[in-house]
Amino acid sequence: MKTGFILGTVRVGGVPVDGARVAIAANAVGSRSANLAILDVFETKDGGYFQGTLPKGEYKAMVKIPGYPYEGGGVKPLTKVIKVSSASVVDFDVPATGFVQVNVTDGVDPIAAKVSVVGVAQAIDPGIDETIFGSLHAFGNVFGYDAREKVTVHGLPQVQFAGPSGSTAVFAVQPGTYQFVVSHGPEYSIDTQTLAVVAGDASTPQVINASVVRVVDTTGFVSADHHVHLINSQDSVVSRDERIVTMLAEGVDYFVASDHDFKTDLTADVAALGRPR
């Protein structure tokens, strides 16, 4: 089989960006319709650059950066037809996005929390971490819409977590209107705020200050999850710290790290987070 190279750069407003995913698709073999099959996905690094090897032929290339609009600003990925020969170049330029940070307290002190970003208008960015199975429907999942329905997807574009500091990292949210629902498990109230996210700079994010308070007395009870996977499992990409923070944010008192074929002691990891709440 003769192969060729595909390479290019992904930019945001002309500035190269790492962490973008470029999907390569072709017409599904044996399909009588226009369905596409995902063949490969490349991720940009080292200054927005990607490259890979493909069999020579004609393909469609699309890009997505989690939290950013699609190239062209539409509600679905913009496709570019490419012909892979010895070396084929395809570049992308994605519109600017918004940036948000959420700070959470229990009314007095910072507290770990879960931040659910709920789409009110055209919120179509649930991320592209789904498994790629090689169908147009899977392609829709990969890039944030249901290809079967041809409708705008609302729902839950993304979820973020605040650790013991009570603050999330600054995260990208494509411009639009959203509800930010802040919670700390079933024992606490929730805080819901609506924010119109606008394109901006990560150094000056839009800030939400939220408060959750205990409303259920659970004295004498322990909340527990006895089957949790971490990075040691072959089916999980969640780091130790990330898993601890998600448990804290959901108000879980005790959980078992049940990684496949591994015994994981998180004592040192929990201690390194300080005084978790």
Instruction: Give 66: exposed, middle or buried? Use CB within 10 Å, 0-12, 13-18, 19+.
Output: buried
- Nearest CA to 184 among 166, 169, 172? 166
Confidence grade of residue 276 (pLDDT, cut at 50, 70, 90): low
Q: What mean pLDDT is reported for the chain?
A: 83
- Nearest CA to 211 among 57, 137, 102? 102
Tell me the three state secondary structure of residue 243.
helix
How far apart CA 160 and CA 112 sit, in angstroms, is 11
Positive or negative torsion for Cα 128, 132, 136, 137: negative
136 pLDDT above the threshold of 80: no
DSSP code for 271: H
Task: State residue 98's pLDDT score.
Answer: 95
How far apart CA 220 and CA 199 sit, in angstroms, is 47
pLDDT digits (tens, 9 = 90+) for 151-202: 444 567 789 999 999 999 999 998 988 999 999 999 999 999 999 999 999 9
| Mean per-residue pLDDT, 93-120 | 94
SS (H, E, C) 112-156: CEEEEEEECCCCCCCCCCCCCCCCHHHHHHHHCCCCCCCCCCCEE
129 pLDDT above the threshold of 60: no
| Mean per-residue pLDDT, 96-107 | 96
Amino acid at 166: G
- Nearest CA to 250 among 158, 116, 141, 152? 116
| Mean per-residue pLDDT, 67-79 | 84
Helix, strand, coil % in the chain, rounded to nearest 5 = 10, 40, 50
DSSP code for 272: H
pLDDT digits (tens, 9 = 90+) for 5-51: 899 999 998 899 999 999 998 876 555 555 677 888 999 999 999 99
Tokens describing residue 6: 């595909």
- Please state the pTM of the whole predicted model: 0.79
Tokens describing residue 158: 């993304």
pLDDT digits (tens, 9 = 90+) for 212-226: 999 999 999 999 999
145 pLDDT above the threshold of 70: no
Count the neighbouring beta carbons within 10 Å of the beta carbon of residue 60: 17
Domains, the chain, ordered by start: 3-94 (2.60.40.10), 98-129+148-211 (2.60.40.1120), 224-272 (no CATH)
Our separate counts of H helices and E strands in the chain read: 3, 18
Higher-confidence residue of 271 and 171: namely 171
Confidence grade of residue 74 (pLDDT, cut at 50, 70, 90): confident
| Beta bridge mates, 180 | 117, 193
How far apart CA 179 and CA 115 sit, in angstroms, is 10
Cβ–Cβ under 8 Å, residues 217 and 186: no
Non-local (6+) Cβ contacts of 214 within 8 A are 106, 187, 188, 189
How far apart CA 171 and CA 179 sit, in angstroms, is 15
Task: State residue 277's pLDDT score.
Answer: 54
